[in-house]
Chain A
Amino acid sequence: MSLSKNIRALSLLLLLVPFFVQARVAVAAEEGEQLDTVGHTADGFYLDFAPFGSIELPRIFLARGEDGGLRLDAYSSTAAALRSGEYAIVHTADEQTELVTDEAVIEEMIAHHSHLYSSIAPLAGEIVVDFSITRHLVFGVLAALLVLLIFIPLGRRYRTPEARKSAPHGIFQNMFEAAVIFVRDEIARPNIGEKYERFLPFLLTAFFFVLFSNILGLVPYAGAATSNLSVTLVLAAFTFILGQVYASKDHWKHIFWPPGVPFAVKFILIPVEFIGLFTKHAALAIRLFANMMAGSLVILSLIGLIFTFNHLFGGGVASGVAPVSIAMTLFISIVKLLVAFIQAYVFTMLSALFIGMAVAEHHDHEGAEPHDSQDHHNFSPALTMDGQTSQFEVAETHGEPVLAG
């Protein structure tokens, strides 16, 4: 079968997908059942594979006992933690919190899966740190494993000097070498300058981890680790620490004694610059987090429209709204794919920019100078009309010896 026929068949199949989804959602709306779209976007203690069931994730607690000693409790699931008799569900009613210890009530909650949505607490003592494995942790580790799985074999191919001099072969190597060279030449070198090689491992890791994590958010049944504020804050913290550890003296001088401003203004500018250092990196984290979270929430709102219409106007109107809603969801999903790539690029570029600003050593801050990444030879003829076109003269003087000899 030719490629165009394959593409046509695939696009026909894709066009049919909205109708399958619409059928299920419309039926659910008519029956008045709850479609849990929020549960999949937020973090949780279970992995949901919708028609097939769900897997509960292990709970790990660092708890302090009544005698003041610390202990590490590990359970294979929330249900196991509740059934062990040492943990109970916290029930808040009218600002009164009590522990539900009745086994029958707990078993009923487990049967209805509502035990995963409430917090649990130990019967004796308190939880110091909750190390439980959550959905975002699982998918973050999965993204990290994917990065390792792809780049360790890729790095091995460049081990011998002969391999480094020859052209890459194969789709796999070519694709990722193109991406790595893109990060090096378009992101690292223009923004950091001569010292870019030291920061290239971090920038590459950040770029590919964020990219794979964002794309995992689009896969059905999987989620994006970067839609968790903690993950993005840690990534921004890495950028911050790298920049400050390798900062030049000029960096601190420019923050605490800005040059080129009138004396009185300096005292207003110093706190602004200092706080700006932190807000720039916090903005880095929040930008990535909000972009990832917003994509999921827009889809939630669009599908929730069907249920709202069902509640307000009944099943017939809801079935009519469903195709429009699903079509918009499809469009937003495509936008989410674009946003996944763009946000990975913007995160890495701004990280490189901040590191470059901190590491820069020149007294005259000229910003990012394009060193040799631009071709200076294609000036338009108007610019070199001063009678001498130097490049042609060079070519002629080089040409003569060859002809004479």
Chain B
Amino acid sequence: MEATALAWLGAGLGAGLVALGAGLGIGRLAGPAMEGSARQPEAAGDIRTSMIIAAALIEGVALFGLAICFLLAIK
């Protein structure tokens, strides 16, 4: 298999794995956030803020992986 084909294959697989990782990570944090907000509605605002920050950080890591997949796909 030539290098270009392998690069494209790697890019596709990588993008899928990145999406999987991001979905799992953010899903694991959204569940308990919902439960916490349901248990204590006064804290819902703080929980929502922390959830958004954590989700943005996890998404940042996922997008690093995506950037590498793009580099593979373009080269």
User: A-side interface residues toward B, CB under 8 Å?
Assistant: 186, 283, 286-287, 290-291, 294, 297, 342-343, 345-346, 349
Indicate with 1 or 0, residue by residue over B48-75, a CB within 8 angstroms of chain A CB atoms. 0100110011011001101100100000
Tell me the interface secondary structure of chain A in the complex.
helix
B64/A346 in contact, CB under 8 A: no
A286–B66 CB distance below 8 A: no
B62 to chain A, nearest CB (A): 9
B53 pairs with A287, CB closer than 8 A? no
B52 — which chain A residues lie within 8 A by C-beta? 342, 345-346
- The interface on chain B, measured as residues whose beta carbon lies within 8 A of the other chain's beta carbons, has a size of 12
Report the Cα distance A186→B63, complex, angstroms.
Answer: 26
A265 vs chain B, min Cβ distance (A): 25
Distance in angstroms between the alpha carbons of A273 and B53 in the assembled complex: 23
Chain B residues near A186 (CB, 8 Å)?
Answer: 49
- Cβ–Cβ < 8 Å partners of B59 in chain A: 287, 291
CA A349 – CA B64 in complex, angstroms?
A: 19
Excluding A286-B63, A290-B63, A290-B64, 4 further A-B contacts by CB distance (< 8 Å) are A291-B63, A342-B52, A346-B52, A346-B60
Question: Which residues of B sit under 8 angstroms from A342, Cβ to Cβ?
Answer: 52, 56
Complex contact A349–B66 (CB within 8 A): no
Chain B residues with CB below 8 A from A343, complex form: 56
Q: Tell me the complex Cα distance, A287–B57, Å.
A: 8
Residues in B neighbouring A283, C-beta threshold 8 A: 60, 64
B56–A294 CB distance below 8 A: no
Main secondary structure of the interface of B (DSSP, over half): helix
Residue of A nearest to B67 (CB): A290
Enumerate chain B interface residues (CB-CB to A < 8 A).
49, 52-53, 56-57, 59-60, 63-64, 66-67, 70
Min C-beta distance of A394 to chain B, whole Å: 24
Residues of A within 8 A of B57 (CB): 287, 346
A residues in contact with B56, CB < 8 Å: 287, 342-343, 346
In Å, the complex CA distance between A346 and B50 comes to 11
User: In this complex, which of A290, A294, A342 has the most chain B Cβ atoms within 10 angstroms of its Cβ?
Assistant: A290
A346 adjacent to B67 (CB under 8 Å): no
List 27 A-B residue pairs with CB atoms under 8 Å apart, sorted by A's residue number: A186-B49, A283-B60, A283-B64, A286-B60, A286-B63, A286-B64, A287-B56, A287-B59, A287-B60, A287-B63, A287-B64, A290-B60, A290-B63, A290-B64, A290-B66, A290-B67, A291-B59, A291-B60, A294-B63, A297-B70, A342-B52, A345-B52, A346-B52, A346-B53, A346-B56, A346-B57, A349-B53
Query: Bound complex: CA of A186 vs CA of B57, how far in Å?
Result: 18
Cβ contacts under 8 Å, B66 to chain A: 290, 294
Residue of A nearest to B46 (CB): A374
Nearest neighbor of A374 in chain B, beta-carbon distance: B46
CB-CB under 8 A from B60, the residues of chain A are: 283, 286-287, 290-291, 346
Bound: A283/B56 CA distance, A: 12
Give the residues in chain A near B63, CB-CB below 8 Å.
Answer: 286-287, 290-291, 294
Please report the C-alpha to C-alpha distance between residue A283 and residue B52 in the assembled complex, in whole angstroms.
17
Q: Name the residue on B nearest A186 (C-beta).
A: B49
State A332–B70 Cα separation when bound (angstroms). Answer: 20
- Can you name the residue of chain B whose Cβ is closest to the Cβ of A288? B60
How far is A349 from B57 in the complex, measured between Cα atoms in Å? 11
Chain A proximity of B46: nearest CB distance (Å): 10
Closest residue on chain B to residue A338 by CB atoms: B52
Q: Which residues of B contact A345 (CB under 8 A)?
A: 52
Which A residues lie within 8 Å of B49 (CB)?
186
Q: State how many angstroms separate the Cβ of B35 from the closest Cβ of chain A.
A: 20
Q: In the docked arrangement, what's the CA distance between A294 and B49, Å?
A: 23
Residues of B within 8 A of A297 (CB): 70
A77 CB to closest chain B CB (Å) equals 27
- Please give, as numbers and ranges, the residues of chain B lying within 8 Å of A294 by CB-CB distance: 63, 66
CA distance in complex: A345, B56 (Å): 10
State the 5 A-B residue pairs at the shortest beta-carbon distance, nearest first.
Answer: A290-B63, A287-B60, A346-B56, A290-B67, A342-B56
The answer for the CA separation of A146 and B57 in the assembled complex, in Å, is 28
Q: Which residue of B lies closest to A347 (CB)?
A: B56
The answer for the CA separation of A111 and B66 in the assembled complex, in Å, is 37
How far is A291 from B55 in the complex, measured between Cα atoms in Å? 12
Instruction: Kindly state the separation between the CA atoms of A290 and B57 in the bound complex, as whole angstroms.
Output: 12
A226 to B10, CA, bound (A): 28
In the bound complex, CA of A342 to CA of B56 (Å): 8
Residues of A within 8 A of B53 (CB): 346, 349
